[in-house]
Structures are given as C-alpha cells and as structure tokens.
Amino acid sequence: MNAIQPAQLAQWLEHAKAHDPQGPLPVVLDVREPWEFQTASVTPDGFELIQMPMRSVPARYMELDRTRPIACLCHHGARSGQVVRFLMEQGFTEVVNVHGGIHAWSHEKDPSVPTY
C-alpha cells in the first residue's frame, strides 16, 4: 500500500501537480467520524478536503473522481489504510494513506491541529 507521512504531503502535492499541471486539485479524504472532524481538522492548502466517514465510503465512493490523486486521512492511519485498500480494489490508482493520521499531522505539519 502506498503511504506518506504528513511531513511529505507538500512533496506529494507537488508530484501530483507536476503530473497534471492543469488538472483539478488533489484530494485529502478525511474518513473520520463527524465528531472527530469537529474536534480537529486540517486546513486545505493546495488540496480539496472532502469529509466521508469510513462507514459511508462503500455507498459514496462513486462521488470521488478516479483521476484525482487522493490522500486518505483518519486519526492514526488504520481506517484510512482500509479505505485506501478498498478504493484500490475499486480501480482507483492514485491513492495514498496518510500514515499516522491527524495525530501525526499535528506533530509533523501543523501543531495548531488539536490532538485527541
């Protein structure tokens, strides 16, 4: 499975933009529960943030554009890893897991994001 650390997100975004300079923004797919999203969230910067709780992904994954790079995010990386596997099984090719989730995001990328 493809995975990136939160500290590698800028590099991942640059790679996606270089691959398709005129294409739409890459996506960070937050698969946490709504209460978790309200507790702590990331600020979109060079990507579109889409909230889709893990349990809703099987019913809603067709809302996602298969041509856009997607980085899946959860609390620590386990749920987002499952979503990455599921999306790849559905034919998505540019999907990565944000290893360590929003917890690592807070430590590596943006300390203003609360941990819980």
- pLDDT above 70 covers what percent of the chain? 99
- pLDDT for the residue numbered 1: 61
Q: Return the active site residues.
A: 74
- pLDDT for the residue numbered 21: 86
Enumerate residues 6+ apart whose C-beta is below 8 A from 29. 50, 52, 64, 70, 71, 72, 73, 80, 83
Q: Which residue has the higher pLDDT, 1 or 4?
A: 4
- pLDDT for the residue numbered 20: 86
pLDDT, one tens digit per residue, over 6-17 is 999 999 999 998
Mean pLDDT of the 70-84 span: 98
